[in-house]
Structure 1
Amino acid sequence: MKNVTLVLGASLKEERYSNKAIKRLRSNNKQVKAIGLRQGIVDDVTIENQKIFYEDIDTVTLYLNPKRQKEYYKYIIALKPNRVIFNPGTENEKFVKQLLENNIISEVACTLVLLATNQY
């Protein structure tokens, strides 16, 4: 059963929203995988610095600007997540079209707000 969230654009810096999202997801007992520029650990989540093919991803939550997303289009689609969340600043109409063509739901929202309001 798919129930894992992939944080794409994960950061080791505590002030970054991707870092806060990892912590909040874990405090809500969500399973998390993370990919960022630098390897490291946030709470109990290992941040990888390369594309790893995970088979159980339900949600990809993006913390990459649209320009940086381009290199991940095929990767994300190949993961076959149920949805992709475009956090503030990551909105990307071109990618949304590709996701829809591949039957992947896209949502322009804030992961932190969704978690805080029990809508995740």
Structure 2
Amino acid sequence: MSNGTEYVFQLIWYLIAFLLVIGAAFYITRFIGQSTLRYTRSTNLQVIDYIILGRDKGLYIVKVGDKFFLIGVSNNNITYLTEINKEDMKVPTNDKDFVTNLNISIERLKRLKNRYLSKKDGEQK
């Protein structure tokens, strides 16, 4: 009988230890992610657009201040290609305001709710 209770207590102890390790991993990962974001944000540099050309190769349009630059990036090299005029850029603009985006999201949620909840109601009848 004592073997059975020892086994149960040992199992509970392992479960608690496992949950503590998972929790610690979660919070450490979150902390590292937040500290990394602090160093990757910039007020003067912004990646506007990019295209991947192959494994470890791509083209990037970078905004530095008010100027736009096209750079090539490979595994071992970053190359300045040219400066791009602002007039030649097609910068996407989000013309929709918050209320319009909110209404679109609400309509999508209603459609999803109707699609999935009506199936469940039909299956129960």
Same structural fold, with TM-score higher than 0.5 when normalized by the shorter chain: no
Q: Which structure has the highest helix share of the two?
A: 2
TM range (shorter): under 0.3
Q: What TM-score results when the alignment is normalised by the length of structure 1? A: 0.19
Q: What TM-score results when the alignment is normalised by the length of structure 2? A: 0.19
Choose 1 or 2 for highest CA Rg.
Answer: 2
